[in-house]
Amino acid sequence: MSKMIKAVNFEEYSSHFPAEIQKKLHLLKKLVKETAPEAVEGISYGMPAYKLKGKPLVYFAAQKNHFGFYATPSVHAAFEAELAGYKRGKGSVQFPFNEELPLEVIKKMVSFKVKELSN
């Protein structure tokens, strides 16, 4: 994992990266905000973080060679088949910089987490 970035908001966070990485970070932000319009954006653990009703929704970060996307183990388990081609942890998945982001899968994961938090 790369050094933690000290940032107070998304813009400050994303400014630490090259233009192509910034573009994809903004794409992730847009996708989360469109899928969960009520989500509150912030920075937590040195990365963009989104909360819904005060509870963690998703986090994401640009690392050395990949984007880390963090929902929760339940979300990652629900999308195990779709995420099979990616390196994963218990509640994380890595999307390599040199591949297209699987936007439809990410959108479904965010929607799943929104529903989980609404119950």
In a domain, 82, yes or no: yes
Q: Given a cut of 60, is residue 2 above it in pLDDT?
A: no
In a domain, 67, yes or no: yes
Q: Given a cut of 60, is residue 93 above it in pLDDT?
A: yes
In a domain, 111, yes or no: yes
In a domain, 1, yes or no: no
In a domain, 96, yes or no: yes
In a domain, 4, yes or no: no
At residue 3, the pLDDT reads 61
Residues in contact with 15: Cβ distance below 8 Å, sequence separation at least 6, in sequence order:
22
Is 78:85 a contact under the CB 8 Å cutoff?
no
Kindly report, residue by residue over 12-52, the tens digit of the pLDDT: 999 999 999 999 999 999 999 999 999 999 999 999 999 99
First to last CA, the chain: 33
User: Which residue segment(s) compose the domain that 18 sits in?
Assistant: 10-118
At residue 86, the pLDDT reads 97
Q: Given a cut of 80, is residue 70 above it in pLDDT?
A: yes
In a domain, 40, yes or no: yes
Mean pLDDT along residues 43-62: 95
CA dihedral 54, 75, 14, 48 (to 10 degrees): 20
Query: What is the total count of domains within the chain?
Result: 1
- Identify the CATH number of the domain in which residue 22 sits: 3.90.1150.200
Mean pLDDT along residues 52-67: 95
